[in-house]
């Protein structure tokens, strides 16, 4: 089955998470991605974190999924020749170096657009291509701090905290894929030809968090971290532990669902209390609501809580471990955890689910330079020219020959 992005050609100069994830998300739906790595310095994600039984980093297996790998010194004159041939036939180039790296390498946007005026260029950086912090080095955690995410995560009297996954880099990967698709749509409509998508890592979280800024500027309400409860605490909910040691999260997002929740934990007396008549009024008495839920949950087993909540059509979701995620019937039914033939490592499959043109996991991350020879051949390079490029160190075929 042909993916919706079949024949979309992407050149990836990115490294680590944010840029490569943008390309990986699009590769799931048929985009042809060529990942370029230096002959002497492969992407650090190949080595970061735990290794599978075959010695390959599992993080690389998923970030490198569906991608061809080309080992190329793109900064040399000979590398420019190869890169130019690739760019001339590409739709998108992804990079997430510090601002100025492309330009110093002789292939800034002006040059790339000379080679291909229709090229979409995704540029991911810590703080953006312009501004007073342009040259400040940054990683995902710095972005989580700048966006306000860390400020709102943790207990009221405790330190700010980072979430349990690289939230800034991951959301930037998603936002980068969106930016690429928006630029491609504008190109398709004739609104613009090739354009630059300038994305700062902190901006992705800033946009997705969103509500603290209008809450402050429009309602003079400053959100604060609130432990097991939401920072804004405008509706009942929180994290609670049952008497048999199971953690679950309770939530209600409307007056109707809130009253069903209150009826489940406190009966009609609590649900009909005037202090909880509307969400606006309820928000002024949220500590009372939280304590009522906490008393109910902590004095019952998980089965008892689930039974009572189900009877009132209220929402309580048990917190799953990673082991439980891999065995969950709903996740399994959706086909959300997949692998390929011959691989023990499983990864999260293509999301979202499209009815007519679903995504596909074709292969997991390949060795450095595994496709160098075939890519160069497709560009018209002879075996003699490829050998010369390898001898001069501009291209590497080592991993293709079976050498790590």
Q: Which residues contact 251 (CB under 8 A, 6 or more apart)?
A: 235, 236, 237, 315, 317
- In three-state secondary structure terms, 76 is coil
Catalytic residues, by residue number, are: 169
Question: Which pTM does this prediction carry?
Answer: 0.92
Indicate the CATH number of 9-209+333-401 among 3.40.50.300, 3.40.50.10540, 3.30.420.40, 1.10.3720.10. Answer: 3.40.50.10540
**What tens-digit pLDDT sequence spans the chain (404 residues)?**
689 999 999 999 988 999 999 999 999 999 999 999 999 889 999 999 999 999 999 999 999 999 999 999 999 999 999 999 999 999 999 999 999 999 999 999 999 999 999 999 999 999 999 999 999 988 899 999 999 999 999 999 999 999 999 999 999 999 999 999 999 999 999 999 999 999 999 999 999 999 999 999 999 989 999 888 888 777 788 999 999 999 999 988 788 898 999 999 999 999 889 988 888 888 888 889 999 999 999 999 999 999 999 999 998 899 999 999 999 999 999 999 999 999 999 999 999 999 999 999 999 999 999 999 999 999 999 999 999 999 999 999 864 443 33
Q: Which of 100, 96, 70 is nearest to 18 (CA)?
A: 96
Question: In CATH, which of 3.30.70.580, 3.30.1540.10, 3.40.50.300, 3.40.30.10 is domain 237-241+247-318?
Answer: 3.30.1540.10
Q: What does the DSSP 8-state code read for residue 401?
A: G
Q: Confirm if 18 and 53 have CB atoms less than 8 A apart.
A: no
**Strands 120-125 and 32-37, how do they pair?**
unpaired
Distances (CA, A) of 372 to 8, 15, 37, 83, 393: 19, 18, 10, 12, 13
Return the sign of the alpha-carbon dihedral for residues 319, 325, 329, 332.
positive
Q: Tell which residue, 147, 156, 142, has the closest CA to residue 208.
A: 147
From-to residues of CATH 3.40.50.10540 in the chain: 9-209+333-401
Compute the distance between CA of residue 276 and CA of residue 356 in angstroms, rounded to an integer.
Answer: 46
DSSP code of residue 248: E
Q: Rounded CA gap, 58 and 51, in Å?
A: 6
Separation between Cα atoms, residue 69 and residue 366, nearest integer Å: 7
Instruction: Answer whether 243's CB lies under 8 Å from 250's CB.
Output: no
């Amino acid at each position: 089955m042909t993916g919706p992005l079949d024949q979309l050609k992407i050149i990836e100069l990115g490294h680590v998470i944010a840029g490569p994830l943008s390309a990986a998300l699009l590769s799931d739906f048929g985009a042809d991605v060529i990942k370029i790595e230096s002959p002497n310095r492969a992407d650090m994600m190949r080595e970061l974190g735990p290794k599978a039984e075959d010695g390959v980093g599992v993080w690389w297996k998923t970030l490198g999924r569906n991608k061809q790998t080309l080992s190329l010194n793109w900064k040399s004159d000979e590398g420019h020749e190869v890169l130019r041939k690739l760019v001339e036939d590409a739709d998108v180039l992804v990079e997430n170096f510090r601002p100025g790296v492309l330009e110093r390498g002789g292939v800034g946007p002006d040059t790339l657009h000379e080679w291909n005026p229709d090229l979409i260029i995704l540029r991911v950086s810590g703080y953006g291509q312009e501004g007073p912090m342009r040259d400040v080095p940054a990683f995902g955690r710095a972005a989580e701090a700048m966006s306000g995410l860390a400020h709102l995560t943790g207990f009221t009297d405790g330190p700010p905290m980072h979430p349990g996954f690289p939230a800034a880099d991951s959301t930037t990967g998603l936002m980068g894929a969106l930016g690429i698709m928006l630029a491609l749509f504008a190109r398709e409509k004739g609104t613009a030809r090739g354009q630059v998508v300038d994305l700062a890592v902190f901006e992705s979280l800033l946009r997705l968090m969103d509500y603290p800024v209008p809450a402050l500027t429009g309602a003079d309400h400053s959100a604060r971290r609130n432990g097991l409860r939401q920072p804004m605490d405008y509706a009942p909910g929180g994290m609670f532990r049952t008497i048999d040691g199971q953690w679950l999260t309770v939530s209600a997002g409307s007056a109707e669902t809130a009253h069903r929740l209150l009826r489940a934990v406190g009966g009609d007396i609590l649900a009909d209390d005037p202090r909880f008549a509307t969400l606006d009024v309820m928000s002024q008495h949220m500590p009372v609501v939280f304590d009522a839920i906490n008393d109910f949950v902590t004095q019952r087993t998980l089965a008892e809580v689930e039974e009572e909540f189900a009877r009132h059509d209220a929402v309580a979701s048990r917190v799953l471990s990673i082991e439980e995620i891999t065995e969950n019937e709903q996740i399994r039914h959706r086909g959300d955890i997949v692998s390929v033939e011959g691989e023990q490592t499983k990864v999260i499959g293509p999301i979202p689910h499209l009815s007519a043109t679903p995504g596909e996991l074709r292969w997991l991350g390949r060795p450095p330079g595994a496709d160098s020879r075939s890519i160069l051949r497709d560009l018209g390079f002879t075996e003699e020219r490829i050998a010369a490029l390898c001898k001069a160190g501009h291209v590497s075929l080592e991993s293709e020959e079976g050498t790590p």
